[in-house]
């Protein structure tokens, strides 16, 4: 992760064109923030001006973007003046408080937190799955929960051909889902374990080294499901547009730094052969098929980390369902990329859309002003 640099540096970078948007990243110093910077840079996202925002603890630090060292500023209510696009990744509380201020200031918000995901007025978007829903945004677009985003990239291509009737899932979730501090804690707990020393975890509820435990989100006393599991159920239903889809899930933390893996058993409307499923997935955007039975080579966090694509494999008919309509598969996707930063930047790319020049940037303030609510043909093309 980028850390402090000494040099005094300019607070903006000059644009590759006047039409490029002014961008703010809220939570720029976090694990997802670092990946947002990398994704914007790697994908050559047009940026006229970049404002890096974090807590007052980080004010004065600098982070590198393209060829510049940019200062990190403390987030305040006035941070969004002149900003067109605000990428939020500093937790739900910060989003609830500051995203409306960003919208009021004229920015479109892509929010990585859970703050607005259940709001029917806020589209919840994975570009490969439901890009068309972006067209009705009112200033805020929600980026899904990391494990839900990774799962639907694999599920949607199958669901389009054979509608899914039921999902049973188990997750193997990395420390990155709990932020940069949890990743550091996994490293330190592993070192302590190898030295034979005791370790007192502060971020995660249990020592993560050489251990597996139920996801740290609070457990709903009535249903027994934890917050992560409830998010997965609600968001997968929304993303696949099947409001009453039956889903059972168990979310587990594993001692992996980044990349979530998911075991999925999906009952389909009618049987789908493994071969058919393989060819659908091989052609699906955002998917890389890793399904080599002879070599026993299937999706792994070590191969998915740092990759844009979600790895999918272990395809087989689930023998627990004698009807033959249930398919089993295993998925691994980088939580920090498709599960967070990459998806947010892909949403921003659709918002930016070639047919829709800045400064309208699809903001509701432009509705009724000569039709400049910019919903690009490109957004519709990607849609299912």
Interface residues with ligand A2P (CB under 6 A) are 27-33, 54-55, 57-58, 75, 90, 94, 179-181
Beta bridge partners of 108: 85
Measured CA to CA, the distance from residue 42 to residue 32 in angstroms comes to 15
Whether 131 and 383 have beta carbons less than 8 Å apart is answered as yes
Whether 356 and 135 have beta carbons less than 8 Å apart is answered as no
The secondary structure of 280-318, three-state, reads HHHCCCCEEECCECCCCECCCHHHHCCCCCEEEEEEEEC
Residue 375 known to be catalytic: no
Could you say which of 49, 146, 251, 363 is catalytic? 146
Contacts of 365 (CB under 8 A, 6+ apart): 106
* H runs (alpha helix) in 162-285: 180-195, 227-240, 274-282
CB of 113 to ligand A2P, least distance (A): 10
Beta bridge partners of 264: 169, 329
CB of 176 to ligand A2P, least distance (A): 8
Continuous segment of H or E residues that includes residue 374: none
CB of 88 to ligand A2P, least distance (A): 9
CB of 204 to ligand A2P, least distance (A): 12
Could you say which of 215, 260, 358, 363 is catalytic? 260
Nearer to ligand A2P, 184 or 318 (CB): 184
CB of 286 to ligand A2P, least distance (A): 23
Beta bridge partners of 378: none
Measured CA to CA, the distance from residue 59 to residue 51 in angstroms comes to 12
Nearer to ligand A2P, 175 or 304 (CB): 175
Nearer to ligand A2P, 47 or 175 (CB): 175
Nearer to ligand A2P, 92 or 132 (CB): 92
Residue 138 known to be catalytic: no
Nearer to ligand A2P, 27 or 353 (CB): 27
Q: Which residue is nearest to ligand A2P (CB)?
A: 30
341 to 144, 207, 256, 296, 297: CA distances (angstroms)? 11, 27, 19, 31, 27
Which residues are part of the catalytic machinery?
A: 146, 260
């Amino acid at each position: 992760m980028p850390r402090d640099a000494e040099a005094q540096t300019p607070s903006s970078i000059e644009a590759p064109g006047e039409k490029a948007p002014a961008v703010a990243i809220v939570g720029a110093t976090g694990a997802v923030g670092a990946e947002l910077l990398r994704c914007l840079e790697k994908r050559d996202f047009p940026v006229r001006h970049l404002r890096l925002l974090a807590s007052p603890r980080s004010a004065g630090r600098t982070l590198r973007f393209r060829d510049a060292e940019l200062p990190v500023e403390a987030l305040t209510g006035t941070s969004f003046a002149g900003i067109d696009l605000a990428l939020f990744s500093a937790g739900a509380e910060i989003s609830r408080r500051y995203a409306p201020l960003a919208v009021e200031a004229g920015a479109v918000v892509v929010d990585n937190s859970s703050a607005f995901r259940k709001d029917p007025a806020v589209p919840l978007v994975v570009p490969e799955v439901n890009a068309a829903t972006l067209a009705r945004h009112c200033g805020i677009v929600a980026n899904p929960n990391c494990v839900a985003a990774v799962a639907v990239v694999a599920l949607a291509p199958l669901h389009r051909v054979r509608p899914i009737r039921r999902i049973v899932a188990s997750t193997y979730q990395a420390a990155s889902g709990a932020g940069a501090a949890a990743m550091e804690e996994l490293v330190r707990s592993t070192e302590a374990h190898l030295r034979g020393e005791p370790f007192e975890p502060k971020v995660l509820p249990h020592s993560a080294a050489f251990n597996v435990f139920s996801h740290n989100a609070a457990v709903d006393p009535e249903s027994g499901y934890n917050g992560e599991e409830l998010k997965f159920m609600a968001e997968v239903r929304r993303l696949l547009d099947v409001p009453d889809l039956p889903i059972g899930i168990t979310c587990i933390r594993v001692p992996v730094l980044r990349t979530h893996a998911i075991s999925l058993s999906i009952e389909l409307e009618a049987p789908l052969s493994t071969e058919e499923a393989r060819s659908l997935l091989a052609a699906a955007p955002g998917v890389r098929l890793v399904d080599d039975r002879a070599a026993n080579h299937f999706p792994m966090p070590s191969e998915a980390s740092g990759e844009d694509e979600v790895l999918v494999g272990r395809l087989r008919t689930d023998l627990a369902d004698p009807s033959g309509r249930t398919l089993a598969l295993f998925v691994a996707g980088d939580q920090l990329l498709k599960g967070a930063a990459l998806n947010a930047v892909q949403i921003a790319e659709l918002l930016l859309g070639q047919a829709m020049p800045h400064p309208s940037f699809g903001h509701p303030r432009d509705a009724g002003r000569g039709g400049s609510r910019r919903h690009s043909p490109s957004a519709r093309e990607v849609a299912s």
